[in-house]
Amino acid sequence: MSAIPSPPPPQLAAVRNRTFDELTVGVSASIERTLGAHDIELLAALAGDAAGAIDATGSEFSVAGHGLGGALIAAVLGTHLPGPGATYLAQRLQFHAPVGVGDRLRVSVTVSARDPATQQVTLACTCVNQHGSTVISGEALVCAPTHAIERPRDTLPDVRLRLGG
């Protein structure tokens, strides 16, 4: 007999944005994720980087490992702050240390500036590993939504990689 999964807690059942008017300097959001080999392999496959999955051992500055950090920043921007309805305009990142399989990243974005004339918000972005070291830092520029959007949280598909062509 299999268990029936519990519904998500109310705060996780929906994705809700924050409008430009709700965003003030210092507002932040973050997620945590442990990077698995599957994550690295999937990003390398999507990018067509056959060497990326091999290089992401954590011993060097791997494109796939750092790419996942950048993708997680985008995930925070698209689902938490500002969330749905935001337009991603620019991103600038610096890579300070290797990121690889087994690393647990805390990915945070914090509003650092806002421009009422353009509805644009600058967010400071950081990825900190399980040792407390900042492995990625930078900033993102988004055009914040002007109206509230709330929608049910989607379930992500189970993606499996298959070798061969």
pLDDT digits (tens, 9 = 90+) for 114-134: 999 999 999 999 999 999 999
More confident residue, 100 or 20: 20
How far apart CA 79 and CA 75 sit, in angstroms, is 6
CA distances from 140 to 2, 85, 89, 109, 150 (A): 44, 15, 8, 9, 23
Rounded mean pLDDT of the chain? 82
Considering 56-65, 97-106, 114-123, the range whose residues carry the highest mean pLDDT is: 114-123
How far apart CA 134 and CA 97 sit, in angstroms, is 8
Per-residue model confidence (pLDDT) at position 96: 93
As beta bridge partners, residue 155 has: none
More confident residue, 99 or 120: 120
- This prediction's pTM: 0.80
How far apart CA 101 and CA 51 sit, in angstroms, is 14
Percent of the residues in the chain that have a pLDDT greater than 90, as a whole number: 53
* 165: three-class secondary structure by DSSP: coil
Who contacts 153 (Cβ-Cβ below 8 Å, separation ≥6)? Answer: 8, 12, 13, 14, 15
For residue 153, pLDDT over 60 is answered with: yes
